[in-house]
Structure 1
């Protein structure tokens, strides 16, 4: 006998849990099926943008989390050889968001708060989706724990592997990026090393760049490494120290608390909807890790989808879901993918001058786009 609910969600990551909570707040009955034994503790996205913070506040989970993260009000661009620098104050966004700043905290610190806000028993662990059947009235999912579940709609938020996406027959277009990323962690407060640094900085020289991100306990230094370099070569002390010294002259021997190399992928589902199955988050799109935009876009998927499902469950036409799916696919293809990949600078050393030359209106446009304010609510019902 199938256990019945209104909406089934595959995956208890930040997107699946945000979707479940947004639906629950609307009085919709939800069950989340998660293949793991517990929430993931892997280090993943750590940047939360203004509209995502607005969403977490709307869900009632942000306030107690904020003190444990890092608020970033200003972004720095600095040219290493000359010391030329410029900053952009995200406070210019105050008219459009209740949170005109970036916030750095590991996503695995946020998912427990989402889980705790859900009704007891809403999330079923060790119950990854193994089978799918759908008809004109609803969806039936079979889970790894032997249970069967029935709902009007099911949403795949089960990550890049996309089990539910595959069962629904939705294809994926994707590839690996040529470059990989070397991430170095240091407990040294880099604000004492780099003048004008708040919590996020981009350093440039004639040949490349380094990103600096302040986290609650460490700073992250992010470097691209070329495709021909092996992971072992990238992790060699001489290479690591050389990279640090190139962008932080005189500080190549700063304390290192950890380091790793990871690849990045590009993928987009060919559709976000197949019958009564919908997709959100990594199951629908995967991008460069730049700015944590992919995770943020997934939470935007969840919030706009919850609003759309709410309308449909109240008697609105199913067409609203097709409209949502088409709109979110467009925003990924036309904005998220190109924006997260970034503009390839022909002259990295000129990036500081380019940012410094922005007019106030141009700076506001840049800040809105970099903060995802222009894409967060695309697909929400009118």
Structure 2
């Protein structure tokens, strides 16, 4: 039964036709007691058919039913069928209910005024008692109005709940989409930081080995050893990164690079031929893993950019200072401005900005007035998750 009720709720025309059919059944049962059964049934059909369209055209149906009621009152007076009472006139109450629930109180009030005129006409022409015509009718129509108010409020509440659920579903889908986009960005950033750094060092070493392989075999052999070492380290870090991406990257799982990690990056760059000076102050080994990883990646990416774009005689200075509430990172180089980022895609700088934004920090990158490039970042130590 509940399923049938829910099905009818989605098909208002079918439900209204069933209501009209129920009214016509009462007409069929009352027709044998009337003076003219066939005329009685014709009037009954005329009163029941508009009910089928009460929700599609509520105003028109109300006008039609009121007009038919007044017309029947006049016709019954003329042909002396004053005792024939049509049960289908209950459709007037249904029309009033529909106006209150679906249109508004103003239209319903106008319809009530028409009902008063109809009742007065019935009292005058059909010799109906004032108590029967006014009292019972007033009670019936008042009940229809109150029911419409109650059910209308309930329907409005249901519609509001449905709208809120729709908004909640949309927000959930949008949040899921944004989470997927953010995760894809994070994966791309991590892979770029791991792969681009190692590949850049290996390319520089390979170029050097190709030049020295005939004239200086020892230097070429050292370069090839650095390539192999860098490749193994990159592969190990790539595996760790993939393992983190497969699981939830809680702070306990993230690597803590600290001062040893920075020294290792500097050593790798020095082996690749880049002169680097590292200056560290403050305790860098007990900060939050995400901040430690952020410091490591910023230094790594910045030095990779220096190695790739600052020229053969470039030198870099790395300064990492831990303060009470944050960590400051500054990477300077003396590269030639004309060669800076000529062949770069800019993804490294974008990745640094994204990482710093995730850590609620600040990043400033640009050319120095005296030549070269400067990257400066500040990362807060206490993150609000």
TM-score category by the smaller chain? under 0.3
Which is helix-richer, 1 or 2? 2
Q: What TM-score does the superposition give when structure 1 sets the normalisation length?
A: 0.23
Q: Which has the higher strand share?
A: 1
Provide the TM-score with structure 2 as the length reference: 0.23
Structure with higher Rg: it is: 2
Higher relative contact order (CA 8 A, sep 6+): 1
